[in-house]
Amino acid sequence: MANYHISSDVLPTLADFSLPDELGFGEVKIPIMYRADYADGAWQPAELTPYGNIEIDPAAKVLHYAQEVFEGLKAYKVGDGRANFFRPLENLKRMNLSSARMCMIEIPEDIYMDGIGLMTAYSEAFIPNGSGKSLYLRPFLIGTRSNLGMGVSDTFTFMVIASPSDIYHAGHMKIQIEREACRAARGGTGAAKTGGNYAASLQSAQNVQRRGYDQSLWLDPIEMKYIEELSGMNFFILQNGELHTPMLNGSFLAGITRDSIISLARHKGITVVERDIAIQEVLTGIQSGAVSEIFACGTAAIVSPVSVIADADGTTYEVEKVDQLAATLRQSLLAIQERRETDPFSWSIEVDNKYNPA
């Protein structure tokens, strides 16, 4: 027996909805949402309801101590087939690692799959079907216990909301090295997908954008020497024909696109090396030609080329090749995600028919 209830308002709400001509990324919201609460030591029956404000006690832990974790994944529907997810259980695995780091509850697989499955099946008519377009799903979990003492919540709300979106066009990115601020500390929460990490990156983002750059490039918080990631993407360089990316170290996010790019590149016969990459080595490599291409990757944009790296003193380094290997990898990954090419990794999973509206 399904452990969820579909509100009778859901189908009439969807019947009144239509997609605007311009989607953007994360701007348009599907007018329904999924919610499951954890209280009294157990998950309560979940609900699919019209989208709307949620009531929250002003003393809830999430509002004061940022007890929250989230994920971002996409459902695709290109062509005639059913909507499909890309590696959704990897997002659940990461969400539960984030949740454990934030002393929150583990989300059971059935509750998570019901959430993303129902949201996608009910939204199927609104999944834009052009290549690169998708339904972006945002599952999140918040601590709701209402007492002001510093401590761990024992009540939680898990929700899934969704946004029909275009591919996130980061374009040819110009990025700036962040030499002062840190996004994460040794032993901190950098590897968890929790709001506080993003809050910590906002000031730097504002500063670099004022200087005309797109994103900050974060260095390791101990020596400020090794590259970690961008604020919402992982980082790759093409060095002497090999693809190099920073080795996971617990202080930045283990991207699912990063992992997919590593497998895909190896499948194409490209050598991939995960290692500590010093920023100075990259700057010198751009000048000598040893580093010929740079790109970043993440769910929203998939793969985005980097054309310029700027240092804090204003020196700029122009990358020799822009969007060459990056374009090949983006196209190959997108073709798998959109089921236009065979998927040797079995990454793509169809949405279960059991979630279809009755």
* Residues at the site binding ligand PLP, with contacts judged by CB under 6 A: 72, 229, 231-234, 253, 255-258, 298-299
Q: How far is the CB of 218 from ligand PLP (least distance, A)?
A: 9
Whether 18 contacts 140, CB under 8 Å: no
From the CB of 9, what's the least distance to ligand PLP, in Å?
Answer: 32
Residue 25: count other Cβ atoms within 10 Å of its Cβ.
16
Strand duo 134-143 + 156-165: pairing = antiparallel
CA distance 6 to 46: 9
- Exposure string for 135-144, b = 16+ CB within 10 A, e = fewer: bbbbbbbbbb
Helices H / strands E in the chain, number of each: 8, 19
CB of residue 18 vs ligand PLP: minimum separation in angstroms? 29
CA distances from 315 to 173, 181, 283 (A): 16, 19, 10
Which CB, 69 or 119, lies closer to ligand PLP?
Answer: 69
Residue 87 or 145: the one with the smaller Cβ distance to ligand PLP is: 87
Task: Please say which residue, 189 or 239, places its beta carbon nearer to ligand PLP.
Answer: 189
Q: Which is nearer to ligand PLP, 272 or 290 (CB)?
A: 272
Residues 28/163, Cβ–Cβ less than 8 Å: yes
DSSP string, 94-118: HHHHHHHHTT-PPPPHHHHHHHHHH
Contact 202, 264 (CB under 8 A): no
Contact by Cβ (8 Å): 286, 358: no
Smallest distance from ligand PLP to CB 150, Å? 26
Q: Cβ of residue 53: shortest distance to ligand PLP, in angstroms?
A: 25
Residue among 157 and 234 whose Cβ is closer to ligand PLP: 234
Shortest CB 133 distance to ligand PLP, Å? 17
* 302-310 and 316-318 beta bridge pairing: antiparallel
Q: With respect to ligand PLP, which residue has the nearer C-beta, 72 or 115?
A: 72
Q: How far is the CB of 278 from ligand PLP (least distance, A)?
A: 20
Q: Which is nearer to ligand PLP, 255 or 305 (CB)?
A: 255
Q: Are strands 234-239 and 242-246 parallel, antiparallel or unpaired?
A: antiparallel
**Contact, 131 vs 74, CB < 8 A?**
no
Q: Which is nearer to ligand PLP, 115 or 190 (CB)?
A: 190
- Could you tell me the smallest distance in angstroms from the CB atom of residue 274 to ligand PLP? 15
If phi over 0 gives left and psi between -120 and 50 gives alpha, with beta otherwise, what is residue 35? beta
